[in-house]
Structure formats: structure tokens, C-alpha cells
Amino acid sequence: MYATYRPDVSIALRWPLRESSPYWETWLAFLKPGEEGEPRSWVELLYNGAPVERVMYLSVDGYRAELPIPRFSPKDDWVIPRWQFDFFRMFNALERATSEFETYLERAGFVVED
């Protein structure tokens, strides 16, 4: 898929760019206990058609939400930076009228780092 930012058409997103290897971490257990991992995907931020940022994510619970891949922190468990939270909230809203993105983050136990 492809989305263009209307106020500045030189800015766009392209997705999904899929990886074939399955991904599994303990934070996925809230969705599918005992099942195999999900294939990872990438979303690219483009400027004048050239990639300037690439972020990995998983589509979870039958594609009801796209979640960024968190990093593990011994202090807070699974952490994502604030910019990823903001970006994926917007990204989820592109694909569905109502987004449960924040509900899925909470269920997975993610902590948003400022």
C-alpha cells in the first residue's frame, strides 16, 4: 500500500514490506498462547520517493492492529519510544475507521518512553 501526505506530496508511506522469518517474543503470548510467531513487516517513510526511515512492525490479532517491535528493558520490560507510539497511532488510523492500537499496546504490556 502507499499513502501520500496531502499538504506535502513529497512525503509518503509504503507498506507492507514483509520478512519471511517468524518473530516470537513473550509479549505476543497475550494474543496467541503457544502458537508460532508472526512474520514481520516494514513500513517505509519516503521523501521524494526515496526511503528515509524504515520501521519494523507486526500485524496482530487477525490484522486488527499494527504494533512496532519493542526493545526489552529490564526495568520496564517492553519499551517503545514516544515517536514510534505517535507514528503507529497514525499508521493504524490509516487502515481502519476505529483503531484499537492503544488497547493492544496496553494488553501487550508496552511502556512508552519519552
CA distance 39 to 24: 9
pTM: 0.87
Top-confidence residue, 76 or 90: 90
pLDDT at 25: 85
% of the chain exceeding 70 in pLDDT: 94
In the chain the first and final C-alpha atoms are separated, in Å, by: 30
In this predicted model, what pLDDT tens digit does every residue of 33-53 receive, in sequence order? 555 567 889 999 999 999 999
In this predicted model, what pLDDT tens digit does every residue of 67-85 receive, in sequence order? 999 999 888 789 999 999 9
The three cell numbers locating residue 26: 513473550
Instruction: Kindly list the domain boundaries of the chain, sorted by start residue.
Output: 2-113
pLDDT of residue 28 exceeding 90, the answer is no
